[in-house]
Structure 1
């Protein structure tokens, strides 16, 4: 939930800055971003957490796994939703501003939290 909320707010903020306006469309973007991020975070987070458990990864290696995997999912979603034609040149750096901190939030709320409780 925390990862999805962060992703929704960050995406809406980036759109607001780019469009230089606030409005009802921004609320729709935030809600849609939250729903997409929630589905991806719940499924992807469960898979990543299972991988960390099965491979018995430490904090550093699990953090790297989360960073790489979530960045890869963000790039794939960008290609899927926006049908980018020029390949890697079309990937916007703004999604890195969302996916990297979202990875940290996801890792902190799952792996780090479990590590501290164990």
Structure 2
């Protein structure tokens, strides 16, 4: 279980970094789309941070556990992160805002793709490097 423990040790920092990124990116996307900057961007950023944090803590724990238990290599874990986070983002958007897949905004993909890469880079990848050093693989 040391592999799982090392992966989960990266969970909270990765979640906070990812939530901060998503909040800032979402606020910037809204500012660009609305062509204005105002106090409502703080609310949008704050809500994005909270939603991302609430989803990323349990979701990140599951992703890191799967990565550790299946001993996924970096490319496989990256693919797992990107596909899972994209699917969750689409699901949340459909549930909260849209009525069909055709209504999904590409802006959420622009936000969640870098967020998923960032989440993987600060969680699964360093954990893989640590376990690789321990396992001697």
TM range (shorter): over 0.9
| Separation (CA, whole Å) in 1 of partners of 2:69 and 2:59 | 15
Of 11, 27, 38, the match for 2:53: 38
SS of the residue corresponding to residue 105 of structure 2 reads: coil
Paired residue for 2:108, among 86, 89, 95?
95
How many residues align? The count is: 116
TM-score (norm 2): 0.82
The aligned runs of 1:34-73 (5 Å cut-off) are 34-73=49-88
SS in 1 for 2:123: helix
State the partner residue of 1:21: 36
- The runs of 5 or more residues in structure 2 that have no matched partner are 1-15, 132-137
C-alpha distance after superposition, 1:23-45 (max 9, x if no partner): 11110000010011111111111
Tell me, in whole angstroms, the C-alpha distance in 2 between the residues paired with 1:74 and 1:61.
20
- Correspondence 1:117 to 2:130: yes
Structure-1-length-normalised TM-score:
0.95
After superposing on structure 2, the runs of 4+ consecutive aligned residues of structure 1 that deviate more than 4 Å are none
For 2:67 and 2:115, the matched residues in 1 are separated by 18
Per the TM alignment, residue 117 of structure 1 is displaced from its structure 2 partner at its CA by 2.5
Structure with greater contact order relative to length (CA < 8 Å, sep ≥ 6): 2
Name which of 2, 20, 23 aligns with 1:5.
20
Query: Is the radius of gyration larger for structure 1 or structure 2?
Result: 2
Unpaired segments of 5 or more residues in structure 1? none
